[in-house]
Structure 1
Amino acid sequence: MARMHTRRRGTSGSDKPVADEPPEWSDVDAEDIEARVVELAEQGHDPSQIGLKLRDGGVKGTPVPDVKLATGKKVTTILEENDAAPELPEDLRNLMERAIRLREHMEENAQDKQNKRALQNTESKIRRLVNYYRGDELDEDFTYSYDVAVELLE
């Protein structure tokens, strides 16, 4: 979705190394990892931030390079099992926050054409994601609007 509204080609990036099991130096118990994931979620961290904190800080001083390799479950799956999952998917939440910031900017700077276009593109991405998540993560009758986004993010 990164290049949806441009004509440029995508940029190549690095791939994760192919691995079937966690490295020997990271011998943390799966239950400890799950407990730390739930603890970080209760502190208000998003799933991507939880992964970064486990990679950098680890559990009991030992870094966890990949939660899925160490536990066999993704971070979001662990959160769902422990009833700590966020009410909105992280990507949708981030796009809504961006749309709110752009809309507030547009109220002060009505002649800013570049940000007007950015707001249109962002709201288009939000509508596409709402269609993707509708029924599973969102209600069947959920529709995006600025007022709904402000209400959800408060």
Structure 2
Amino acid sequence: MARMHTRRKGKSGSTRPMISENPAWVPLNATEIEDLIVKLAKDGMISARIGLVLRDQYGVPNVKLATGKSITQIMEEKGVAGSLPEDIANLMRRAIDLNVHLRDNRGDVSNRRGLNMIEAKIRRLERYYKRIGTLPADWKYSLSNAELMLK
């Protein structure tokens, strides 16, 4: 499949091995993993970072196989999830940083185009999250509101 904003194809990535159950060598059980996820989320980590920490420091290769739920589902059940979905929040942070760069470097037209593409992705995600009910129907993206929400 081609990339979204260019006409090139991407490189193929690695695939995960086909396993359907949690390996026997995983040192933690499901409740201990959930407690660790809640602790790390309260420390301010996002779900992707929590997955890396669980893999690298605690030897948990796949949270979904170990608990039957994803990290985001566990965070939502325990009430430690953020108010915004992480993908849209990360894109908003990138847009804020790029806008700060463009204030200092007004002639940087390639990054101005990059900002337009990031904002287009944010608006597409906004429509999707409104359709599935994750974001309220009156939520609207703007750069000034993003700066207030995230910084």
Report the RMSD for the aligned CA atoms in angstroms.
Answer: 1.2
- Give the structure 2 partner of residue 107 of structure 1: 103
Query: Does 1:92 pair with 2:84?
Result: no
The equivalent residue for 2:67 is 71
2:22 is matched with 22
Which residue of 2 is the match for residue 31 of structure 1?
Answer: 31
Stretches of 4+ aligned residues off by more than 3 angstroms: none
- Please name the residue that 2:11 is paired with: 11
- Aligned counterparts of 1:79 and 1:89: Cα–Cα separation in 2: 12
1:137 match: 134
1:106 aligned partner, one-letter code: L
Q: CA deviation at 1:3?
A: 2.4
Distance 1:69 1:119 in 2: 38
CA distance in 2, matches of 1:49, 1:104: 26
Per the TM alignment, residue 54 of structure 1 is displaced from its structure 2 partner at its CA by: 0.2
User: Tell me, which stretches of 5 or more residues in structure 1 are unaligned?
Assistant: none
TM (normalized to structure 1)? 0.93
Out of 87, 93, 116, the position equivalent to 1:120 is 116
Name the aligned partner's letter for residue 5 of structure 2: H
Unmatched runs of 5 consecutive residues or more in structure 2: none
State the 1:22 CA deviation.
1.2
**Cα separation, 1, equivalents of 2:119 and 2:3:** 15
TM-score by length of 2: 0.95
Aligned length: 149
Deviation track 1:60-92 (CA, whole Å, cap 9, x = no partner) reads: xxx100000000000000001100111111111
Separation in 2, partners of 1:3, 1:123: 17
Aligned mates of 1:3, 1:47 — CA distance in 2 = 25
Give me the identity figure in percent: 49
